[in-house]
């Protein structure tokens, strides 16, 4: 009942209450397991607004398209970076959050728009780092949700296709195109576009092993796709997830 009050939950029937309670108990058991002394987990779990959600509801919200459905590469083959760290291990650790070129964490709400957030926030950081002005725009994921016909709005998509969209359309700021969490009519205004991709060769693919990824992230932040539909992510509270149960 404390959970219901804290998260302002409302159930219409006794049947729904019992079903939600069962989901909450399942989450509570997992949280206790993660936080138990001697646990193999390296992060902290906790209750949140997803604790009474079914796995199907949570997966639907995430909604990034599977990697097997990914769009074809740009015309010239994507660059695959190799590990070029020097003998001193330069670049073995990088945290862009404290360097003034990342915006605060955002909430996609009930919309399956993770791809649009990933695309816009990588662009924010890339422009801030490479422009020489240290200018950090807060871009508008809602623009991609509403206007990008290559993706599926709140039903998922790919950040690669969002970048393709940005080759022909300037990205608007969040202040000019606020996020609603619902797919609506396109309100793009070209005069308010502040940054765009030069062409489809602006981005490239990085090999998924740790060496090439570390080399890439030392240059600028990158977009990644992870299998985030497990209890590990649904109950995440703080810390770094290193458990083998977090998927691919």
Structure tokens at 174: 């969040």
Indicate if the pLDDT at residue 142 is higher than 70.
yes
Average pLDDT (5-18) is 95
Q: Which CATH architecture has domain 65-224?
A: Alpha-Beta Complex (3.90)
What is the C-alpha to C-alpha distance for residues 125 and 137, in angstroms, rounded to an integer? 8
Please report which confidence band the pLDDT of residue 216 belongs to, taking 50, 70 and 90 as the band edges.
confident
Out of 172-181, 201-210, 236-245, least confident range: 201-210
∠ CA 211-212-217, nearest 5°, is: 100
| E strands, the chain, in order | 43-45, 236-239
Confidence of residue 80 (pLDDT cuts 50, 70, 90): very low
**The pLDDT of residue 77:** 40
Q: How high is the pLDDT of residue 84?
A: 40
Residue 152: C-alpha distances to residues 159, 228, 243 (Å): 11, 19, 31
Residue 120 has pLDDT above 80, yes or no: yes
State mean pLDDT over 174-188: 95
Task: Considering only residues 79 and 247, tell me which one the structure prediction assigns the higher pLDDT.
Answer: 247
Task: Say yes or no to pLDDT of 131 above 90.
Answer: no
Higher pLDDT, 136 or 206: 136
81-110 residue pLDDT tens: 444 444 444 457 788 887 888 999 888 888
Fold of 2-61+229-246: Helix Hairpins (1.10.287)
Which comes out higher in pLDDT, residue 97 or 71? 97
- Residue 175, classified by CB atoms within 10 Å of its CB into exposed (0-12), middle (13-18) or buried (19+), is exposed
Q: What is the pLDDT of residue 201?
A: 60
The position carrying tokens 């609506």 is: 184
pLDDT above 90: percentage of residues in the chain = 44
CB neighbourhood size of 108 (10 A)? 19
Q: State residue 55's pLDDT score.
A: 84
Q: What is the pLDDT of residue 71?
A: 54
- Rounded CA separation 149/75 (Å): 20
Domain boundaries, the chain: 2-61+229-246, 65-224
Beta-carbon contacts of residue 122 (< 8 Å; ≥ 6 apart): 159, 220, 221, 222, 223
Q: Say if residue 6 is exposed, middle or buried (CB neighbours under 10 Å; 0-12, 13-18, 19+).
A: exposed
């Amino acid at each position: 009942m404390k959970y219901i009050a804290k998260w302002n939950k409302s159930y219409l029937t006794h049947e729904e209450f019992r079903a939600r309670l069962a989901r909450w108990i399942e989450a509570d058991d997992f949280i206790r397991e993660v936080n138990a002394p001697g646990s193999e987990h390296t992060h902290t779990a906790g209750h949140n607004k997803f604790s009474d959600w079914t796995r199907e509801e949570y997966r639907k919200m995430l909604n990034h398209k599977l990697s097997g459905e990914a769009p074809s590469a740009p015309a010239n083959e994507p660059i695959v970076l190799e590990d070029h760290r020097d003998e001193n291990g330069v670049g073995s650790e990088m945290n862009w959050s404290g360097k003034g070129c990342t915006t605060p964490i955002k909430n996609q709400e009930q919309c399956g728009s993770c791809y649009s957030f990933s695309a816009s926030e990588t662009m924010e950081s890339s422009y801030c780092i490479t422009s020489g002005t240290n200018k950090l725009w807060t871009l508008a994921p809602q623009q991609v949700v509403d206007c990008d016909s290559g993706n599926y709005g709140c039903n998922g998509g790919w950040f690669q296709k969002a970048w393709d969209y940005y080759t022909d359309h300037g990205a608007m700021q969040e202040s000019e195109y606020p996020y609603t969490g619902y797919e609506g009519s396109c309100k793009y205004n070209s005069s308010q576009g502040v940054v765009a991709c030069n062409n489809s060769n602006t981005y490239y693919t990085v090999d998924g092993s740790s060496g090439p990824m570390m080399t890439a992230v030392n240059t600028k932040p990158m977009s990644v796709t992870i299998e985030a539909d497990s209890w590990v992510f649904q109950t995440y509270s703080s810390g770094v997830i290193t458990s083998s149960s977090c998927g691919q």
